[in-house]
Amino acid sequence: MRVIREGEEFLLYKEKLLVGRCSCVQQGEGWQLASFWVDPAWRRKGYGSFLLRQVLKSTGGYTGESLHFLTLGESPAEKALAEKFGFSPAGNLWRRHRVPDPTAVGLTHDFLRQNLLPGGFFVDATCGNGGDTEFLCRLAGPGGRVLALDLQQQAVDNTNARLAAAGLSDIGRAVQADHANLAQLVEAGSADCVVFNFGYLPGADHSLFTTPKSSLPAVEAALAALRPGGILAACLYSGGPNGDGEKNALLEFFRALPIREYTVLVCEFANWAPTAPLPCFVRKKGW
Amino acid sequence: MRVIREGEEFLLYKEKLLVGRCSCVQQGEGWQLASFWVDPAWRRKGYGSFLLRQVLKSTGGYTGESLHFLTLGESPAEKALAEKFGFSPAGNLWRRHRVPDPTAVGLTHDFLRQNLLPGGFFVDATCGNGGDTEFLCRLAGPGGRVLALDLQQQAVDNTNARLAAAGLSDIGRAVQADHANLAQLVEAGSADCVVFNFGYLPGADHSLFTTPKSSLPAVEAALAALRPGGILAACLYSGGPNGDGEKNALLEFFRALPIREYTVLVCEFANWAPTAPLPCFVRKKGW
């Protein structure tokens, strides 16, 4: 059993026999799946599911956000197939809108996107592989500026290479520095945001991790670096070799911040393991 | 001392003497404040602050989101004035971007806006004064549908009147019902979101509040009502006559939801009082 794509057509073969097909046209932000058909002789054997899964896979239905519309008849089997794949009725069509599961990174980017304007000055205090730095550069736009720090020269090089490849070198730049020395690099009251990832970075070298000894001074310096209305975003990673000492120290610090000067938001993935990443946001008041 | 607005000009008078002025032009999404001037004889006495505060107040600088640009000279006094009001240097101008402090309602609306599409079916399970219902109707748009419930007939009437006044009656409708009976009103697997406000509603009659006896069955029914990918948003209010029993019961329920079927996010205002509103989000997986 295999599916062959010919332009806008997906063809399902069993050996050399065509047993199903689906045409597939991109429309606006979504995909329109029409003329979905399985040879009646081969129905109720999982062929329809196999074909639909391949079509969805091929058109991004399992990664990131996606929107699909499916045209089907009205038989109970067709209804069951649509529902199995997360489609729900929408007028004459079936609609499937996939929104990715919330993640710590996605949540942080959503929050920053909603609270920052192009043209700002953004700081990535722990740039690692440069993912957040690139995101901040795109948010800052040509009129903005992004400064990225990392203790490891390799991370700095990777980030600068990533920015260059993305054509963002005029906006952002990574330099080798301990984030505890943030105050020497960023003028007080100048930053619209400072972003941290604390602990070890998933997928990176787990023998290297941040510790409260440098992260507490770094967070204090970051708050001083923020202008009124600015945002500190800190994702706390715990577990593994660094345990949860740093997470608890930072949480205690955040919780004790005076309510007249700061709003602190801690977003917990409450049915995940206690070591789940913990996105925290601190907004500096001022006017 | 008083400020008089004449068209685009703000004039500061001390008795009948003109001692300052500021012109003020709306540009794009922001305001451009130019030719800010205080009579040298009257400087360093707080007149500049008084004028600037009135100009900002008059142009929405203290409510909601706002963006102002200010043209100033380069004297230390002018710099200090700009910084005092939250402006920061942006090229030749000073820029002041006010983003409102995060609130439970704002956070919930941001999350829903980011996870729901127009054309969906949204449920407001505790409509109260109809604020969330109206928000959901605008999000659903003409192709969508919103069902609102409340135990109190007065709340239902208020909500329907509000929707009518806003021209949203074709999209949303409130009916009198206990949210514990949600399953009788909403077909399983049909809703893109269900929104709750638990506890007493700030500003409303505090002798009326929800209890775990009806709220736990309501939440279970809401999860069954969601289609795959759908969102349950529940803001937990505690303190006052209802204490924190319901909040703790719901939190315990949310935390125990199986990770393979749901993602639970609990967003805590971590430096506020323990009775601060607690926005919770549950996303139903499925594909």
Is some CB atom of chain B closer than 8 A to the CB atom of A57?
Answer: no
What pLDDT is recorded for position A201? 55
Same domain flag for A126 and A225: yes
Of A229, A191, A225, residue with least CA distance to B89? A191
Query: What is the layout of strands, in order, in the sheet containing A2-6?
Result: A2-6, A9-14, A17-27, A30-38, A66-70, A93-98, A88-90
Banded model confidence at residue B63, pLDDT cuts 50, 70, 90: confident
In this structure, what token pair is assigned to residue A70? 């499916």
Rg for chain B, CA atoms, rounded: 24
What pLDDT is recorded for position B286? 65
Characterise A37 by phi-psi region: left (phi > 0), alpha (psi -120 to 50), beta (else): beta
What pLDDT is recorded for position A115? 87
| Range A72-95 burial, b when 16+ CB lie within 10 A, else e | beeeeebeebbbebbbbebeebbb
Most confident by average pLDDT, A94-103, B154-163, B203-212: B154-163
Contact B88 A267 (CB under 8 A): no
What pLDDT is recorded for position B92? 82
At A148, the amino acid letter reads: A
pLDDT > 70 in chain A, percent? 96
Domain boundary among the residues A62, A82, A98 is at A98
The more confident residue out of B57 and B212 is B57
> Interface pTM (ipTM) of the complex?
0.79
Rounded mean pLDDT, A79-99: 85
pLDDT digits (tens, 9 = 90+) for A149-174: 999 999 999 999 999 999 999 999 99
Q: How far apart are CA A237 and CA A250, in angstroms?
A: 11
CB B189 within 8 A of CB B229: no
Secondary structure element (H or E) that encloses residue B82, with its range = helix B76-84
Nearest-CA distance from B263 to chain A in Å? 7
To the nearest whole number, what is the mean pLDDT of chain A?
90
Same domain flag for A262 and A192: yes
What pLDDT is recorded for position B142? 94
Across the interface, of A114, A228, A256, the residue whose CB is closest to B86 is: A228
Same domain flag for A81 and A167: no
Same domain flag for B69 and B156: no
Taking CB atoms and an 8 Å cutoff, what residues of chain B touch A255?
Answer: 270-271
The more confident residue out of B250 and A86 is B250
What pLDDT is recorded for position B228? 85
Is some CB atom of chain A closer than 8 A to the CB atom of B261?
Answer: no
At B126, the amino acid letter reads: T
Taking CB atoms and an 8 Å cutoff, what residues of chain A touch B287?
Answer: 62, 85-86, 96, 98
The more confident residue out of A201 and A191 is A191
Q: Is the pLDDT of residue A242 over 90?
A: no
Same domain flag for B61 and B165: no
Q: Is the pLDDT of residue B271 over 80?
A: yes
Rounded mean pLDDT, B118-135: 94
| Range B102-133 burial, b when 16+ CB lie within 10 A, else e | bebbebbbbbbebbbbebbbbbbbbbbbbbbb
Strand bridging mode A9-14 / B2-6 = unpaired
To the nearest whole number, what is the mean pLDDT of chain B?
90
The more confident residue out of B31 and A92 is B31
Same domain flag for A92 and A113: no
Q: Please, what sign has the CA dihedral across residues A137, A138, A140, A141?
A: positive
* Lowest-pLDDT choice from A202-211, B3-12, B115-124, B231-240: A202-211
Contact A190 B88 (CB under 8 A): yes
Name the phi and psi angles at B276, rounded to 5: -60, 150
Banded model confidence at residue A286, pLDDT cuts 50, 70, 90: low
First to last CA, chain B: 65
Site of tokens 């806006």: B113
Across the interface, of A117, A190, A271, the residue whose CB is closest to B264 is: A271
Same domain flag for B113 and B69: no
With a CB cutoff of 8 Å and minimum separation 6, the contacts of A154 are: none
Domain boundary among the residues B98, B128, B148 is at B98
What pLDDT is recorded for position B64? 80
Q: Is the pLDDT of residue B147 over 90?
A: yes
Q: Is the pLDDT of residue A144 over 60?
A: yes
* Lowest-pLDDT choice from A2-6, A77-81, B136-140: A77-81
Q: Is the pLDDT of residue A104 over 90?
A: yes
Same domain flag for B91 and B154: no
Rounded mean pLDDT, A124-132: 94
Domain boundary among the residues A98, A123, A150 is at A98
Q: Is the pLDDT of residue A205 over 60?
A: no
Q: Is the pLDDT of residue A250 over 60?
A: yes
Same domain flag for A122 and A86: no
Q: Could you tell me how far CA A145 lies from the centroid of its own chain?
A: 22
Q: How many structural domains compose chain B?
A: 2
Banded model confidence at residue A210, pLDDT cuts 50, 70, 90: confident
Same domain flag for B221 and B190: yes
Banded model confidence at residue B91, pLDDT cuts 50, 70, 90: confident
Same domain flag for A138 and A275: yes
Domain that holds residue A64: 2-98
Count of residues making up chain B = 287
Q: Which domain CATH number covers B183? A: 3.40.50.150
Banded model confidence at residue B231, pLDDT cuts 50, 70, 90: very high
Q: Is the pLDDT of residue B174 over 90?
A: yes
Q: Is the pLDDT of residue B201 over 60?
A: no
Q: Among residues 206-245 of chain B, which lie with CB inside 8 Å of chain A?
A: 227-229
Q: Please, what sign has the CA dihedral across residues A169, A173, A176, A178?
A: negative
Banded model confidence at residue B115, pLDDT cuts 50, 70, 90: confident
Same domain flag for B159 and B30: no
Rounded mean pLDDT, A245-263: 94
Q: Which domain CATH number covers B45? A: 3.40.630.30
The more confident residue out of B30 and B209 is B30
Chain A nearest-CA residue for B253: A271
